[in-house]
């Protein structure tokens, strides 16, 4: 049964965004569907575009209002605050071509705290404080709306239309429902703080009380949800190859409620919101005067939320590492290094090019570097065939190859150079003490990706060697025989003499 014929039997649409489309043939049918969807969009309510846009920067957010004094204050504020999440550097994997989307705006209509008041006598610093608190509050409202929308216009229709099975949807959407009540509670607490003049006085105690209450349910809910994300993303990418799934998701992305965002953008909102809390609290703290009551409570609230974020990041990293470890397929038993199984997290992973021109997916685990070739399994999923011999991080020698350096000796075989003798965005890794591990010359997609890999590799090498040294030291006897020191000195001296000879 064609997907569009199933739309006729569907009655969902809290936002009036999806509707039946007539049965036609291929391209004409899809074009008509887009046209009908677009017409319906014009007549439907579009709450997503009318909601307040999150503050990405406070440059110019103090827009003119009715009183000249506030207008002058707003014009005097010109600073930028970045609320982008701080994640581990991740070399970009192969970029996929973004599907063509409609011309609906991607961002919400902007509004800030200054738009909600007509006059006041606050200082510039207090205005900034109110703006960040307002962003915190409205961010909760927008997140709740988006998570509710995801359930109504993605999960329920895909289940009813049998586009994906209930089990598959459970894996992709995870425990999304459990997060909504947590944010609804925080939103209600923040809204109650707003006084008659639409200003918030003391916010610290509320954040501490909320944080203390959230520490158990929030921590458990977010750990469960975020740990499931790496598997959810892999399954969603796999299912996108099916025509009915791709067709449904494309129709949703071309609709006004999506703001040109795909399903995964919505599913990743809770994680991105969680890592944003410390940044928001730091900004509130920065704008809080020394004699303000919040001065004593905000540090405690910040410490609490940072501990939650740190724990979620730790557990998510462990789950990601386990997921990719299970996806490795070894061609030889000698490739099964104990360092791979002992690794608890990934520094980074992504696509690199070998000296033979092969595209490899490289994993930098906590204790080992693994080169692999991604292939499809029987179910259409992805597995990674281990390529050559993995390298223990503690034994890696890293060599950065300057751009423009000659390949020399046919090492790059023209793969990196495109027919000339110059190389670009390349580095070399080799192992000391392992005869089966040959040097690997690798090329990144661009200079930024190359620098990310080199930074992560250096960090992994140093930390692995430090860990190895600590392990070796802990194995030494507490009271060693003094004769052992004498034997060690003789051994070192003998080696030195032999080298000089």
State in words which class domain 330-473 has.
mainly beta
Element (H, E) at 267: helix 263-267
Residue 24: Cβ within 10 Å count: 14
| 35's tokens | 């046209």
| pLDDT given for residue 239 in this prediction | 94
DSSP state letter for 241: T
Domain with CATH 1.20.900.10 in the chain: 122-325
Write the DSSP string, 440-457. Answer: EEEE-SSHHHHHHHHHHH
Distance (Å, whole) CA 224 – CA 253 = 27
Q: Does domain 122-325 have CATH number 1.20.900.10?
A: yes
Going residue by residue through the chain, which has 501 residues, state the pLDDT in tens, using 9 for 90 and above: 444 443 433 333 333 333 333 344 445 444 544 443 444 334 333 444 434 333 333 333 333 334 344 333 333 333 333 333 333 433 443 433 444 433 333 445 567 776 666 666 778 888 888 889 999 999 999 999 999 999 999 999 999 999 999 999 999 999 999 999 989 988 988 888 887 667 888 888 877 776 555 555 677 888 999 999 999 999 999 999 999 999 999 999 998 888 888 999 999 999 999 999 999 999 999 988 888 888 888 888 888 889 889 999 999 999 999 999 999 999 999 999 999 999 999 999 999 999 888 999 999 999 999 999 999 887 778 899 999 999 999 999 999 998 876 544 344 444 444 555 567 899 999 988 755 567 899 999 999 999 999 999 999 999 999 988 887 776 655 555 544 334 333 333 333 333 333
Measured CA angle at 57 (ends 55, 60), to 5 deg: 100
Site of tokens 């990405």 = 56
| pLDDT given for residue 353 in this prediction | 94
Distance (Å, whole) CA 388 – CA 365 = 16
Write the DSSP string, 254-291. Answer: TSGGGTT--HHHHHTHHHHHHHHHHHHHHHHHHTS-TT
Domain with CATH 2.30.29.30 in the chain: 330-473
Site of tokens 């070894």 = 330
Record the pTM. 0.67
393 with 342: CB under 8 angstroms?
no
| pLDDT given for residue 211 in this prediction | 53
Distance (Å, whole) CA 91 – CA 32 = 40
157 with 277: CB under 8 angstroms?
no
């Amino acid at each position: 049964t064609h997907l569009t014929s199933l739309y006729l039997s569907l009655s969902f649409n809290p936002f009036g965004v999806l509707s039946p489309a007539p049965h036609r043939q291929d391209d004409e049918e899809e074009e008509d569907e887009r046209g009908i969807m677009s017409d319906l969009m014009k007549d439907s309510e579009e709450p997503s575009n009318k909601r307040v846009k999150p503050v990405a920067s406070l440059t110019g957010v103090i827009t003119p209002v009715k009183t000249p004094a506030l207008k002058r204050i707003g014009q005097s504020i010109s600073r930028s605050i970045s609320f982008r999440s701080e994640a581990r550097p991740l070399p970009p994997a192969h970029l996929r071509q973004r599907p063509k989307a409609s011309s609906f705006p991607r961002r919400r209509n902007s509004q800030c705290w200054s738009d909600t008041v007509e006059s006041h006598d606050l200082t510039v610093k207090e205005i900034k404080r109110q703006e960040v608190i307002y962003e915190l509050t409205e961010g909760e409202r927008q997140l709740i709306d988006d998570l509710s929308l995801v359930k109504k216009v993605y999960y329920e229709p895909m289940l009813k239309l049998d586009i994906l099975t209930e089990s598959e949807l459970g894996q992709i959407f995870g425990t999304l429902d459990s997060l909504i009540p947590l944010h609804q509670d925080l939103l209600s607490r923040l809204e109650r703080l707003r006084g008659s003049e639409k200003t918030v006085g003391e916010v610290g105690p509320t954040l501490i009380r909320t944080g203390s209450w959230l520490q158990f349910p929030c921590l458990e809910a977010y750990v469960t949800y975020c740990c499931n994300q790496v598997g959810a993303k892999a399954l969603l990418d796999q299912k996108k190859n099916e025509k009915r799934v791709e067709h449904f998701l494309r129709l949703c992305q071309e609709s006004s409620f999506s703001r040109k965002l795909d399903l995964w953008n919505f599913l990743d909102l809770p994680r991105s919101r969680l890592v944003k809390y410390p940044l928001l609290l730091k900004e509130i703290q920065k704008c809080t005067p020394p004699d303000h009551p919040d001065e004593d409570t905000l540090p405690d609230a910040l410490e609490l939320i940072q501990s939650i974020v740190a724990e979620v990041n730790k557990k998510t990293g462990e789950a990601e590492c386990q997921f990719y470890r299970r996806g490795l397929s070894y061609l030889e038993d000698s490739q099964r290094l104990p360092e791979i199984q002992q690794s608890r997290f990934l520094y980074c992973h992504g696509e690199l090019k070998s000296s033979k021109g092969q595209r490899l997916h490289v994993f930098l685990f906590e204790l080992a570097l693994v080169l692999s070739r991604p292939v499809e399994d029987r179910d259409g999923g992805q597995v990674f065939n281990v390529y050559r011999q993995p390298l223990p991080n503690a034994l890696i020698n890293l060599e950065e190859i300057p751009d423009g350096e000659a390949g020399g000796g046919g090492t790059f075989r023209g793969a990196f150079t495109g027919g000339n003798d110059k190389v670009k965005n390349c580095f070399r890794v080799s192992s000391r003490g392992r005869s089966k591990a040959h040097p690997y010359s690798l090329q990144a997609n661009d200079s930024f990706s190359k620098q990310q890999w080199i930074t992560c590799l250096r960090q992994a090498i140093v930390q692995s060697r430090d860990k190895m040294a600590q392990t070796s030291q802990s194995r030494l006897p507490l009271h060693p025989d003094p004769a052992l020191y004498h034997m060690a000195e003789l051994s070192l001296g003998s080696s030195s003499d032999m080298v000089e000879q």
